[in-house]
Structure 1
Amino acid sequence: MSRVSSPELKKFMDKRILIHVQGGRKVTGVLRGFDIFLNLVVDDASDESTAGDKKSIGMVVIRGNSVTSVSTLSA
């Protein structure tokens, strides 16, 4: 019986993060939760896909299979 390991995202919890999503989109926000499939719950999220434009999108769930990278933003 194999055990599924959880993603190493605990260090990002309740911190402001930058998420790169397939299709060149970028989302910033505060990580509130995640699961073993890397689905992310992001609060106070903003879509920053277009250059210089930041659109507030509230609380969102980002599907794990569309995430290409996650990094913290310095406070």
Structure 2
Amino acid sequence: MSKAKESAVDLAKFVDKGVRVKLAGGREVQGILKGYDQLLNLVLDEAVEYLRDPEDPLSVTDETRTLGLLVCRGTAVMLVAPSTGMEEIANPFLGAKAEGEAAGGDDDS
């Protein structure tokens, strides 16, 4: 009655295609997915790392560093997305936060 463990993510459709991977610690890499396993260990070919902005470590710049063949350990993988059709959008919560601070004010009554 034992079932084979299945991964929560099906990466088969991304094999031999470009993917962008966000890793724990803020690093981002892009490359061609060559293999993976149920623990989300990934093998990327022609990988490049997107370097972070020195003044704002939370943002990534367009500057890259070539890595070549890369093995990403599954415990560090936070996000896997196709590299085609990906675009950055403005954070919709930044406006709501500013409005909440203005409306909240100080309640020292």
Structure 2 regions of 5+ residues with no counterpart?
53-60, 86-109
1:37 is aligned to 2:39:
yes
The equivalent of 2:66 in structure 1 is: 56
Higher helix share: 2
The TM-score with structure 1 as length reference comes to 0.92
CA RMSD of aligned residues (A): 1.3
Q: Which has the larger radius of gyration?
A: 2
With CA pairs under 8 Å and 6+ residues apart, which has the higher RCO, 1 or 2? 1
Q: Aligned partner of 2:46: which letter? A: D
Detail structure 1 runs of 4+ shifted over 4 Å in the superposition: none
The TM-score with structure 2 as length reference comes to 0.65
Structure 1 regions of 5+ residues with no counterpart?
none
Q: Deviations over 1:28-55 (max 9, x none)?
A: 0000000111000000000103222100
